[in-house]
Structure 1
Amino acid sequence: MTTDQIRGHQPILEMLQRALSRGRLPHALLFAGDAGIGKKRVALSLAQCLFCDQTSADELTSCGECASCKQMVAGTHPDLISVECPPDKAILPLSLIIGGDDHRGREGVCYEMSLRPMVGDRRIAIIDDADKMNAESANALLKTLEEPSANYLMILIASELDAILPTIRSRCQLMRFGRLSQEDVADLLIEQQLLDSAEQASQIARVSEGSLNTARQLLDENLAALRVNITRILGKHPFQPQVFSQAVMQAIDDVGGNTAAQRKTANWIIKFCADFYHQALQIAAGCNSGLESDSIRKFVAGIPGEPEDQIEIIGNLLDRMLQTEEEIARNATIALCIESLSEDLRGIQMK
């Protein structure tokens, strides 16, 4: 994994290169940004560059051929300590930081970072999901952050910066990662052979919000079928609020009684609707990208009035979807949100 394989984070790479060239790479970095945008990829790439046997430590590059590079690719480098929150846990276990009850102080990141390097001159720790540390875990990590050893580097990765304790943040160099562009997400879907159609990749990327993780979720067959059904209903004239609300509530009910799962499904539906109206708005404004479906073009053509009138109506529809997204984020009752939304969508289109 080399830096030329990284998309969308050139400013971050340039900052790291400047720090290396000046010999001022901090002992602790905090990579913050949305989930699925490549923060860990950058962390691993930086580690490989620092471990590489054939390149200078002041250059953000690696040969890809030496023993250290091959170990990094295989995930077996003995001086890399990498931990993350298990999928079935909401909090990063304290045992990953300072060891379990039976081995407290003799396992975990803090212990590993107190040892001498095994093959080179440095050790590197990557703590993914650092925002899922509780106060006990964060406080246990503080001593290691406060008393760094030479040539030791710790990289914390967080999607929710506000969840990181101020005492931790103050001891790390913060680097904020921006979202990937739609083009980057689409290209990555093709490069990683998740899709082979550029048109499909672009459609998925539009709703991904700059996250490759989100894009992968959108490849789920059930979610794809839901998107097709919801947008089909949106495209019909006249709009049928009861059909729309029933389809939405059925999709939400299908996920079961888990409130978090229901809200997640509702959010997906709102995103699908917003994307539909966003594409329609582009068509009405004459900014066709060539990727919009015929159904969306027919929907726009079915709106009466001049293009200016169509733009106003579609803009109001899009605004109403975004309002619903905010309501659901504030934990409003989903059923009431969807019922109100359905009637408002009809009202906007009847004006």
Structure 2
Amino acid sequence: MPWEGILGHDLIAKQFASAEAAGRIAGSYLFIGQEGVGKATFARSLIMALACQHSTDQLEACRKCVSCVQALAGTHPDIDIVQKPAERTTIPLEALIGSSDQKLRAGLCWRLLLRPQLASRKFAVLLDADHLSEEAANCLLKTLEEPPPGAVLILVGTTLERQLPTIRSRCQVIRFPQLTDTMIKEILQLEEIQNGQEIEESTLTEIARVAQGSLSKARLFLDQELASFRSRLFKMLAERPLRGVNLTRETIGIVEAAGKEPSLRRARLRLVLDLSIDFFRAKLYQMHGVRNPVDEILASTIDTWNASPEQITRCLEYSLDARTGVDRNANLGVLVDAWTAKIERA
């Protein structure tokens, strides 16, 4: 059985179990890996196991003691989980050091200094570390450099490049690998069974392949509308001249089909932009003779697209910028219009 039911990261779990047994758990960690591989889930399970009153030699939580019950309920007095509010572009400074009238008397950094009430030490997980403003990151430096005795702080991000050098240098970096296609298929199959549904093996195989190691992407591709849009998107991107109006209409349509919930719409647009980035990157690899596994649909469309390396690079940069704009809560309609206009002119 995988550690705490989390597929793909048993080796990392063993490393933490060994460190805990030797009394060598560090004060600050930075979890790095692409979206949808289970970093946040692993971080939550890890601190619950570290706080557990009866954890096993493999550092597995009993899920029955008072500490585990409160951790599962989200009410543990010694565990803090901080993440970017949906309506904000960055993690607010007050989440770390308190509001202006309670500065340094509230927030995550202050709570870590308090004496543990239930566990033997204090724990904190800072999700969305990619979205730390420079000011907020600087407030974390002293806590990261000199964490309170026994306290454990875990930052969760996607790439080292999105973290300040001062943050990277003060944390022990743990890299999370992509999930294999087999793992993604196993998880999706189990989830569909739990939902009282069945999915064909061929469909599972196709979804796992195009998800590129990300479970969150795989879950989106369970929507047949999104799965078929992938092919249409590649064909539109390969069309010359590129018809920006058509691309805008199709993109806005697939985004709005997610419903009125802003988070669902943003998730869809992220996927569209990620697919576009895959398209431009695959073409660039092809032009430079770099081996890059692609599926039949992607291979056929990049073969028909004639563009210079400079054009491809510009399209890739525009798509990456638009992807960043989604994370910064930019207006989605304006963002799509600007993105399609730029790649049309590239």
One fold, TM greater than 0.5? yes
Runs of 5+ unmatched residues, structure 1: 235-239, 281-295, 297-313, 341-351
Q: How many residues align?
A: 298
**Letter paired with 2:68:** C
When residues 167 and 263 of structure 1 are mapped into structure 2, their CA distance, relative to the original with a 3 A threshold, is closer
1:19–1:25: 8 Å Cα contact kept in structure 2? yes
Whether the 8 Å contact between 1:127 and 1:155 is mirrored in structure 2 is: yes
CA distance in 2, matches of 1:145, 1:259: 32
For residues 241-284 of structure 1, give each alpha carbon's deviation from its aligned partner in whole angstroms, at most 9, with x where no partner exists: 68x9686554135469x99987863653686998xx9444xxxx
Tell me what 2:84 maps to: 85
| 8 Å contact from structure 2 (residues 14, 58) kept in 1 | no
Residue of structure 1 in register with 2:220 after alignment: 217
Please identify the structure whose Cα radius of gyration is greater: 1
Question: Which stretches in structure 2 are left out of the alignment for 5+ residues?
Answer: 256-264, 283-292, 320-338
Matches within 5 A, 1:257-268: 265=272, 267-268=274-275
User: What's the counterpart of residue 36 of structure 1?
Assistant: 36
Query: Would the aligned equivalents of 1:267 and 1:325 in 2 still touch at CA under 8 Å?
Result: no
CA deviation after TM superposition for structure 1 residue 204, in Å = 1.8
Q: Deviations over 1:111-145 (max 9, x none)?
A: 11011111121110000111211121111112222
Conserved in 2, the CA contact under 8 Å of 1:95 and 1:108? yes
Give me the TM-score of the superposition, normalised by structure 1: 0.71
1:136-178 CA distance string (max 9 Å, x none) = 1111112222222222111111113212122222221111111
Matches within 5 A, 1:1-351: 3-55=3-55, 59-193=58-192, 196-199=198-201, 200-220=203-223, 222-227=225-230, 248=247, 250-252=249-251, 254=253, 265=272, 267-268=274-275, 278-280=294-296, 317-318=301-302, 328-331=315-318, 334=340
In the aligned structure 1, how far is the partner of 2:299 from the partner of 2:15?
40
Moved more, 325-334 or 315-324: 315-324
Decide whether aligned partners of structure 1 residues 271 and 136 sit closer, same or farther in structure 2, where only a CA change above 3 A counts.
Answer: closer
Aligned-residue CA RMSD in angstroms? Answer: 3.9
What code does the residue aligned with 1:27 have? G
The answer on whether the counterparts of 1:31 and 1:174 sit within 8 Å (CA) in structure 2 is yes
Aligned AA (2:71): M
Structure 1 residue 218: deviation in Å?
2.5
Q: Assess if the C-alpha contact under 8 Å between 1:82 and 1:128 holds in 2.
A: yes
Query: Secondary structure at 1:154's aligned position in 2?
Result: strand
**Aligned partner of 1:159: which letter?**
T
CA contact (8 A) 2:277 2:316 kept: no
Deviations 1:64-111 (A, max 9, x none): 222222222222222110000112222111011111122211211011
Q: What is the distance in 1 between the residues matched to 2:19 and 2:183?
A: 26
User: CA separation in 1, counterparts of 2:111 and 2:135?
Assistant: 19
Cα separation, 2, equivalents of 1:322 and 1:89: 40
Identity of aligned residues (%): 33
* CA–CA separation in structure 2 for the residues paired with 1:169 and 1:210: 25
CA contact (8 A) 2:49 2:60 kept: yes
**Residue in 2 aligned with 1:286?**
none
2-structure distance, mates of 1:168, 1:267: 27
Partner AA of 2:316 in structure 1: A
